[in-house]
Structure 1
Amino acid sequence: MNHLARVYEAALRVQIAPFGVTPGQFPALLCLFEEDGLTQREMCARVQIAQATMANTLRRMERDGLVTRTPAPDDGRSAQVWLTDRARKIEDDLVRIGRGINRSAVVGLDPDEADALLKTIRLMIDNLTPPEGDRDGDGALAPDHRETDLT
Structure 2
Amino acid sequence: MDEDVLSTPGHLISLAARGFARLSESRLKPLGFGVGHLPVLVALKNGNASTQRDLARFAKVEQPPMAQMLARMERDGLIQRTPDPVDGRSSHVVLTEYAQARMPEATAALFQGNREALNGFTSAETEQLVTLLTRLIANLDQIASVSPP
Q: Specify the TM-score bucket, using the shorter chain as the normaliser.
A: 0.7 to 0.9
Residue type of the alignment partner of 1:59: A
> More helix by proportion, 1 or 2?
2
Q: Which runs of 5+ in 2 are unaligned?
A: 1-12
Deviation per CA, 1:58-84: give whole Å up to 9, x if none. Answer: 000001011011122332221110111
Tell me the residue number matched to 1:115.
Answer: 127
Q: Percent of counterpart pairs with the same letter?
A: 32
Pick from 25, 33, 40 the counterpart of residue 45 of structure 2.
Answer: 33
- State which of 93, 102, 105 in structure 2 corresponds to 1:93: 105
Question: Counterpart amino acid of 1:84?
Answer: T
Give the alignment partner of residue 95 of structure 2, picking from 60, 77, 83. Answer: 83
Which of the pair is proportionally richer in strand? 1
2:30 & 2:24 partners in 1: Cα distance?
11
The amino acid across from 2:52 in the alignment is: Q
What do the CA deviations read for 1:111-143 (whole angstroms, capped 9, x no partner)?
A: 111111101101111111158xxxxx56359xx
What is the TM-score when the length of structure 2 is the normalising length?
0.81
Counterpart-to-counterpart distance in 2, 1:16 and 1:42: 24
Q: How many residues were matched structurally? A: 136
2:138 aligned partner, one-letter code: D
Q: Cα RMSD over matched residues?
A: 2.1
TM-score (norm 1): 0.80
